[in-house]
Structure 1
Amino acid sequence: MLLKSLICLFPWFILAAAAEASQAKPGCKDTCGNVSIPYPFGVGEPYCYQQSGLQLVCNESYNPPRLLYSNIPLVSISLSNGTMTVGLGVTYYCYNQAGQFLNGWTWTFTLNENYYFSDTRNKFTAIGCDTNAIMSDSSVAIFKSGCMSVCANERSIVEGSCSGIGCCQTAIPKDIDECLAPENPCEKICTNMLGSFKCSCPRDYIDEGEQDGKNCTPIQNRLPILQLALETARALAYLHSAPSRPIIHRDVKSANILLDDNFTAKVADFGISKLVQLDQTQMSTLVQGTLGYLDPEYYHTSQLTEKSDVFSFGVVLVELLTGEKPICSKRSQEERSLATYFPASLKENRLFQLVEPQIINEGKSAQIIAYSELAKRCLNWKSEKRPTMKEIAMELERLKRFQIHPWTPQQRNEESTSLLSEPSDLYSVELTSYTGNASGQYSMEVMLLNVPPR
């Protein structure tokens, strides 16, 4: 079975040439079955196509003949839109009523580096009950995406709906990775972008050359993590308590926290954020977010609340403290997620084995412990046990202003109560919808890279 008119491939560097010609070259095959073959694509002799990545095959053993790119059947080619519509096989797994595996098929294919999936013309879709579907490259090094559908029973499935019950959808990862090319000019870090790439500098460097990737200047003094965390928490607290329509960001992560030339944090990328009715505490929605930051309660129930942002922010707090990535394949399967690994390490009294040495040297142990406890509360799997962003901002404000002493449970309760009544201007912070490349702004994620292994 093939899903036709589903996957589109975009050859990004040939569109200008393609616009000048819409016919096959003289002496070259111009159709295969019902599909036209316009130049720069071609079949047969090298003269008929512009380069090897545009060579197609007409398999005449089928009736009618079938036009193929590698092992992928082509349905149509549109030079004006820069698209190829293809047919892909369906991956499936079948089980009997006892839950035992019967048979299945996993569809794999290889794309030339000149193509990427259209994120506007495609959706990765999975159909079934209690189905977890994953799409990735073969090494899971460049991209990975997926979704999960659940069913209470057959009556819970709504025909024609794909909201996570019996059917789920998510965006298709797109673009090729120009950073893998040996000729990219980046001196330090190369970040892949749609049809391009961006150069930046790693942790402890200021990026002064995003275009040519040169002149990465070392930062003399380390960025204060409390200040960055506080500014981000203030911004999210403002979003959650906006007087007109509160907003749930839904994709809080270090890559979406930008730093300007003064290292002021700005929350960015509101592409999947949700407006909330004033009297609404949660909403049912298609699960979206970033692996490693995604609230597990939201993932399993599709119920989005402001506490989903709190969980994601908890992961950012731990990243700032430890320099660890949210997902690390070098850790064991049980500890691969930082949101699981960090609380487990606290339980085993291994906190100071995780904290970056420079933070231990510059910070006070009581402050580090209090900060870690706050992060742990944010990462609670039960949303009702997580603090609000306003409470988090107040707690970070206290940690930043005062030298504290180790807490006892009674002291913590007393201080939490006083914080809620403490007057503070939490919301004097910039928000931005910036998602591209701009001088003087770079992601906080850059500061978390290249941490020496422990």
Structure 2
Amino acid sequence: MDLHGMLMQISLIGVIISTIVAITAAEAAQAKPGCDYMCGDVKIPFPFGLTDGCYLNRNFHITCENNVTAKTGGLTVKSISIEDHELRVLNFVARRCYNKTGGLVDGIKTSFKTPRYTISNTKNKFTVVGCDTYAYLTGTQKGENYSIGCMSLCNSLLNVVNGSCSGVGCCEVEVPDGLKYIKIKVRSYDNHIDVWGFNPCGYAFVAEQGQFDFNSAYLKNLTYKNLPMVLEWAIGKETCEKAAQNKTAFACKRNSYCQDLETTSGYRCKCEQGYQGNPYLPDGCQDINECEDPNLNSCTIAKNCVNTPGSYSCRCPKWHHGSGRKDGEGCEANLLLLFKIAIGIGISFITMLVGSTWLYLIVKKRKLISLKEKFFKQNGGLILEQLRRQEGSTETTKIFTEEELQKATNNYNESRIIGQGGFGTVYKGVLPNTRVVAIKKSKTIDQSQIQQFINEVFVLSQINHRNVVKLLGCCLETPVPLLVYEFITNDTLFKHLHHKSNTSVMLWQIRLKIAAETAEALAYLHSEASTPIIHRDVKSTNILLDDKYTAKVSDFGASKLVPLDQTQLATMVQGTLGYLDPEYLLTSQLTEKSDVYSFGVVLVELLTGEEALSFSRSEQERSVAMHFLCSLKEERLFDVLDDHIVEEGNKEQLKEVAELAKSCLRVKGEERPTMKDVAMELAGIRKMEMHPWVDVGGTLEETENLLGETSGAYKHSSSSKTTGYDSMNNHELLALGDGR
């Protein structure tokens, strides 16, 4: 170590030693000069003392057992306060214990008697613990007997609340003021016979507030033998006026004043304002240097503070006059020149401030405009505008400004959130024309796929199907683009099927209607849209319902646009557990049959009323689709169907839809029907309901003549399509919960 390092260490050690010496000196100054001031870790300030000549009188004698434990009147002293005139002592806990037949096992009474101390009524509480316990506290107050009681009952531990002493297992009351003698007795109504298994004893004690925290375990065994109690002390029995007549015996020394007590005899000494220390020692109250601590003085200029005995004064700088205090008139300049200079400086400063603020706002505004233009270009705004001009459509895809959507969502207030998930957050917004919309704020976007993302936005905005949530436009002025959809009012199919808060039960015809409309929407996306679209995340949370229970397919954050010259493509596996196509999961080859499988799971949800995947169910029933197929194979279909729809009596329809769901859930995609076939089949099943004269048990030929080519048309279909890119990057397996 070099010389400089050694000097630094020596200096640091010196500072530490000086601090320790200063603290020790301050503690020693509280005791009478030449007297011991410590017993163990308890400081003994005057008028208390350990040996003859070191205390004011015998009432303040503290014994020190084994040079470790401070005691007064048999009580262990934990601390003594001169400023608050208090002692903290350890007080015994009274108890009374019984055996299971009600016989008394042992008991301890406690009493406290001393003419020199008063039990603090503001710092202590009388507490009783037990389930068949009451206790008395008797004492003397102003020379007369005084009694209070507290009762604690409970039949079991069920109603006992930890930390609560309201009468169940524990009760507490305030201690009256002025008590110098107390006796505590613990009693029981039924000798704890009914509660002996968990509460064989009753306890009572006076303890300092905050030092006892009730716990139900204490009913079995209260581990405390004693607890802290606060005592108040005073000098003698005389008033200040009478005690001051005998100047030699008067305890209040220089720079202190005397204070009478209201509820007990004697007086106390306090240091006068501006002084601190021990008022019972001749030079105990020392002047406080207010100038050393800015919190103790109100001088307008700290360096102009002047300490005086018991106070301080504040000076004003040259050419100024006044009190120099913040709470007074302060300091005022004497010369008009100084006033003019100050005015000139102030005007110059304000001019500079206004000018710099104006320049800052202009620069900030230009930067903001530049940043928005950067985001607009970065997010494909120019590409979108070019597509709109090429298609001759200027209104299909509206481009919103950032300010419009901030205002619509009240600056994206949390109260406007209607959905959150892996892809981002959906907010409810109100446009200036009062139209309610859903605004999707995604988490990230892959900059390498901006062209594909813009193509997807453009195509989706042109989809106009009554069962597909309409994409109204987007905002490209933000780091991540925002999408604006029409707002659907009646929440998701998932919540209607699975949330307990829904008091109404969804009828089978409504479920069948939702299934048929959802199938029509997916068939439209697969077969009739200008660019075929695979949704890739079909599930009940992405099927929204309006007030008439019309189904609306939503959340195209995971969707894929399908080039017309391709049928399948390797993609990153994405979707929601419980709905994922097992073939897609194994091969990563996405086709439109993946949507068919997911739709099959939705059909099973509609039939059973159970969630697609629930880890609260047994392993065999965890996947509702697998459990459904197993039950169907074992001819136990009606055991797994929702009781409400079975009771409606549409058993033939239920069987038809169950078989359709089974075909959608086939492991091999080529064996599943197309969504168009599924939609036609569901439409046919609905027609059966609308024409009750159809004989379901009749010939297949009659049924086909009535329904057209609907039933069975899917059995040999294997057409499939897929996509060529991901429009949104950083997808997660669990998709956004509410796709509006």
Interval of TM-score (by shorter of Structure 1 and Structure 2)? 0.3 to 0.5
TM-score where L is the length of structure 2? 0.27
TM-score where L is the length of structure 1? 0.44
The answer to which structure, 1 or 2, has the higher relative contact order (CA under 8 A, 6+ apart) is 1
| Structure with max Cα Rg | 2
